[in-house]
Amino acid sequence: MSTAPRTPTLREATRASSEGIVEGVTVRRHLHRRGVTGTIPAFPEFSHIGFDIFTKVGGLGKHEHLGMFEFCLIIRGHVTWWAKERIYELRGGDVYFTWPDEPHGGLHELMHPCSVYWTTVHVPRPGEKGARSFLHLPPAESQDLCARLYGMKDRHLRGAEKLEPYYKEIFRSLEFGGSLGVIHARAAMQGMLATLVTLPVAGQPQGFVPPGIERARAFLEDCPRPWPTVEELAKLAGMSASHFHAAFRRSVGMAPMEYAHRRRLDQASKLLAGPQAKVISVATRLGYCSSQHLATCFKRYLGTTPTDIKRKA
């Protein structure tokens, strides 16, 4: 009987990196986490690249990256982050970035369950000396790319699937590629940033959404009671259950029942802000079987509790 491959320990992963030709980097590989950090003379723009699978709510407090952009890809899940006093609801397929020295973090200092890539990059400001040699590009191309990055109008974009292959190539090249790996990683960074500045803003229409999926989504917006099953939603959409589940996740960015919970919890948060609101009454009104059931769902999806919501109201 075969056994699953053993996950390298942190020490083993770091030693594997130090035995390669690329100097100055530290590699960390765990079951749900992967990262490469370091200073590479031939790739000074690089600082860090990481990938995480968050299986439960964790912490993400206020922080900033001095002199660096941070570019994040949301592959799966749903997270709520803030920057410059604005809140961003992010889902699978979204791209999010922060400008250098800009404070940002998770709403209520929380990171929700999701799969996410991120990288921090030193990008010279247009007009600075380094803007003529960014990523070893020819001067005109280097200046153009720096100007486009600093000229982006919105930090919330769509198109993570277009950038993910570049992130994977940067990982692969820096972890195992030796001296040529730096060249490959730098080229992948060029491609990633050149693609990123062409992505559409997340609020813009994103192609065709099947009418059946839109019907089901609109139905769930009204927090119907009793709770519909996936099979009932699929029938409303005119699809088989398996096809509906996959199509809904692809179009909306999360599974149907997670979407149903999040819409109800949004409504619950508004109701709990009322001075006379009772947790049990709100739970019953929205179709939860008990106040404890509501509290469990608040904790699972939002990382907080109904009591905390009432206290902050």
Instruction: For 128-147, write each residue's pLDDT tens digit.
Output: 889 999 999 999 999 999 99
pLDDT at residue number 159: 92
CA pair distance 313, 309, nearest whole angstrom: 6
User: Which of 102-106, 108-112, 171-175 has the lowest average pLDDT?
Assistant: 108-112
Q: How far apart are the first and last CA of the chain?
A: 57
pLDDT band, very low/low/confident/very high, at 66 (cuts 50, 70, 90): very high
Higher pLDDT, 254 or 27: 27
pLDDT at residue number 19: 44
What residues contact 54, with CB distance under 8 A and at least 6 apart? 32, 77, 111, 112, 113, 114, 115, 116
Number of Cβ atoms within 10 Å of the Cβ of 108: 16
Any idea which residue has 């890809």 for tokens? 73
Domains and CATH numbers, the chain: 10-196 (2.60.120.10), 211-312 (1.10.10.60)
pLDDT at residue number 97: 96
Determine the distance from the C-alpha atom of residue 118 to the mean position of all C-alpha atoms in its chain, rounded to a whole number: 8
Of 290, 295, 289, the closest CA to residue 310 belongs to 295
Structure tokens at 12: 């083993």
CA pair distance 24, 128, nearest whole angstrom: 26
> What HEC string does 135-187 produce?
HHCCHHHHHHHHHHHHCCCCCEEECHHHHHHHHHHHHHHHHHCHHHHHHHHHH
What residues contact 172, with CB distance under 8 A and at least 6 apart? 181, 184
User: Which of 34-43, 102-111, 234-243 has the lowest average pLDDT?
Assistant: 102-111
Any idea which residue has 């912490």 for tokens? 59
